[in-house]
Amino acid sequence: MCGRFTQKYTWQELVDLYQLTQSPQNLRPNYNVCRTDPVSVIIPGTSGLFLMPMRWGLIPRWWKKSLKELPATFNARVETVAEKPMFRDAFRRNRCIIPASGYFEWQDTAEGKQPYYITPRNGSVLTFAGLWEDWRDRVNNDTIASCTMIITKANSFVSAIHDRMPVILEPENIGPCCRTMRERKY
């Protein structure tokens, strides 16, 4: 399970990797993204891919209770994402990619939990598979865009630390992922 990650990259790195079509943005690094924090997420718009802020922790569009009553939805297991009520509608309609510089996993030790920071050796941007949804707050009529990160069984490198990890898309798989995402009108 990925509960913290980092987003530290330049606008040009994102344009080069994802061919973003919007005007340049001044990106602020975040070295400790926690659940419910705003994160930068890439979704398709009518004229290409767009970077936009979203709340990390998916709020299904059908959710009627308060956000305080929402269970943890910052990760969605790849094995059950298509069936779980919290994620299945977003899985069918709203896929996204979440750029990251790295992520943290904790290992239980005799002295307590030991954090490990996992990042590409070459410093490149990681691309996590995700889902997103727009939710309308019925109390104040605000719309909140939210997302979740899809996680899977750990690979041989990460399994020495933790049993789960984010689904990381290789650059050649970013295009097919984006073609399955729903466009948002801008």
Catalytic residues: 2, 105
Q: Name which of 99, 81, 78 is nearest 89 in CA terms.
A: 81
Hey, is 69 helix, strand or coil? helix
What own/partner pairs with CB < 8 Å and gap ≥ 24 does 107-115 have? 107/161, 107/162
Determine the Cα angle at 39 with ends 72 and 71, to 5°: 10
Tokens linked to 89: 């509608």
Provide the 8-state DSSP code for 168: B
CA distance 101 to 166: 13
Q: What is the identity of the amino acid at 112?
A: G
Is 130 within 8 Å of 168 (Cβ atoms)? no
